[in-house]
Structure 1
């Protein structure tokens, strides 16, 4: 399930255009780490259990296996930490974030996450190959046996990123609630521009400003200002609701990871700090159980996405049915719109000229010369016949 579920996540982010954003790129990289846990780490751990924790493979593979275990576990927490930081920056400073938020920038951030994870795990094979006592207990059980590295590595790879993740997630929820309260109190979009989530609204305002005449009439300005004061920013409120839903899903992922991995790392720290005062055999048994609880976390994330995200759920359903093509909607024919009041109770003659590059013109009766619609060049069948006259009755 761990391998198959994460492969579905990788396929969904790769093939579904709706999932092409920075957060989902991080989730795809996280899925790669979780998939590699199921592919390279869990089978060897299961093999060790079958041999009663006596390492059955060549001894030089022991530090390599421990290094991979630390690498992918560290990568998981680092990805979640990076996601929480990236989302907080995007919500707190959306305009600045949008300038530097591209696919290339997301890949660079993911590369930094993997570089940190590799930096934490690389010393293990170096230490283990030099001194086997650092990776073997009783000369038989393959486990990291360097107290200093266990202590420092646990803080660097888990507790520090976890603290950052919790703080940024709480700040994200605070900002979202603050924005929602400001909207409910009747603030205009201009007052929310500094913390607005809806970048599309910002773009629409800029476009509208460009389309305004250079010297608008004073009456138009007065009406426009009144509309701004009366207008409720529904688009921004919808964006806040969307961010809340996304934060809820990510919050569940964070919480699951916290519940699954905290017992292992807390026990790992206690086994070093208490030393001989603790029952080492009990600690070893607890660590063997808790590490498998952490491994299970790698297979839970795809289930979370399936339960709470419609795009992932639909994509997974299609892939399981061997349908790898994105659903394409039929093209919608756009018809020119005319105000109903302009045509009410009147007839409109429509003359369509064939075999000409000039756009066709639809004009009303002579009594109403002001009603006119411009239609773009029409593709008509090749038939050099006379002009077709249509009469459209009242709308």
Structure 2
């Protein structure tokens, strides 16, 4: 088994017996990626339970995965099977740029999602008031621009090695500075940020589950009364509105108002405790889902970036077949997020069932 050499990699076409199952396997992967992420887009745009502003990050991430499956993976498969680049120099440059761009975009999205989750937990009142659809859309735009700034300049300025005329090649720059820069900026640095953020989220969530609502508000640096805090949460307005109507009907004088307050005090306190427990459960579930998404992304892409950097920094021998497996393992990540949402999120499962049932009819 030969070792991978980034500066002089030889590619040999596969036999017909090998090409057929490989094409079928990658074809199924592409179809699953497109189908699953289209389902995510439809769920996020049609389900009322999934219309929270922060879910725009997941919508944008799903779009990036669809673009990977439609504009990158088919050409990677053709290049692999044919042993040379058939589609011309211009599309080679576009293909390489999109490949790096979409990968970087995915991890920057996940980094933004982890920071959004952290601020929503540690600065619940202040941040949730600022978490409007317009602000989230602006953040998504910044995410895409940041991914472009990381990805495109090195690809535009680097020297291209076109290979032989009869067997042209299409591969990323093999210079040491580019490999270190792209691996660090596109993967290792964002991963370090996400790991630190989720460790902090875990610590805060663990402290919060042990503290009552009033104590939790003080931990967040908020001096408001728990009653005022709860009034700012969603859905409470409906219940509180019903309570106010009942109170107005029985408040003909001060004594009746005091009596009504005493009657309402215990049910409202019990309701607040139940609301607090429900909110904690939702926070833990959402944090779990996003942590699993980040963890799966790291597991899928770490082997590739690690071996990619290793071969350049220390000129280590990495079996070419193993490197290609790691390369395609990274692409597999684009198809896994819909599976994760289905397994760990009830709202996504319910929305997927509704969409599929409508199509079935």
Identify whether the pair has TM-score above 0.5, normalized to the shorter chain. Answer: yes
Structure 2 counterpart of 1:163: 192
Question: In the TM superposition, what are the counterparts of 1:170-319 in structure 2 within 5 Å?
Answer: 170-183=199-212, 189-194=213-218, 195=220, 199-200=233-234, 223=262, 227=266, 231=270, 233-275=273-315, 278-279=316-317, 282=318, 284-319=320-355
The aligned residue for residue 103 of structure 1 is 133
Q: 2:96 touches 2:171 (CA, 8 Å); kept in 1?
A: yes
Deviation at 1:320, TM superposition (A): 2.8
Superposition map of 1:363-382 within 5 A: none
1:32 partnered with 2:57: no
More helix by share: 2
Q: Larger Rg: 1 or 2?
A: 1
Q: Give 3-state SS (helix, strand or coil) of 2:87's partner.
A: coil
Alignment partner, residue 87 of structure 1: 117
Which stretches in structure 2 are left out of the alignment for 5+ residues? 1-31, 221-225
Counterparts of 2:261 and 2:343, CA distance in 1: 49
**TM-score normalised to the size of structure 1?**
0.70
Kindly indicate whether structure 1 or structure 2 has the higher relative contact order, using CA contacts under 8 Å at least 6 residues apart.
2
Pick the aligned partner of 1:69 from 84, 99, 111: 99
**Deviation for aligned residue 1:159:** 1.0
Instruction: State whether residues 67 and 124 of structure 1, in contact with CA within 8 Å, keep that contact through their aligned partners in structure 2.
Output: no
Q: Distance in 2 between matches of 1:83 and 1:27?
A: 8
SS in 2 for 1:132: coil
For 2:164 and 2:216, locate their aligned partners in 1 and report how far apart those are by CA, in whole Å. Answer: 60
Instruction: Give how far 1:55 is off.
Output: 1.4
Q: Deviations over 1:242-270 (max 9, x none)?
A: 11111111121111111101101111111
More strand by share: 1
SS of corresponding position for 1:320: helix
- State the 1:180 CA deviation: 1.0
What RMSD, in angstroms, separates the aligned Cα atoms of the two structures?
A: 3.3
Question: For the Cα contact (< 8 Å) 1:201–1:235, is it kept in 2?
Answer: no
Question: Partners of 1:7 and 1:229 in 2: how far apart?
Answer: 42
- Find the counterpart in structure 1 of residue 160 from structure 2: 132
Cα pair 1:267 1:283 within 8 Å, conserved: no
Deviation readout 1:163-203 (Å, 9 max, x if unpaired) = 111111121122121111113xxxxx333324489624886
SS at match of 1:122: helix
Structure 1 alignment gaps of length 5 or more: 184-188, 326-395
- Whether 1:142 aligns to 2:170 is yes
Assess, with a 3 A threshold, how the Cα gap between structure 1 residues 22 and 161 changes in structure 2: closer, same or farther. farther
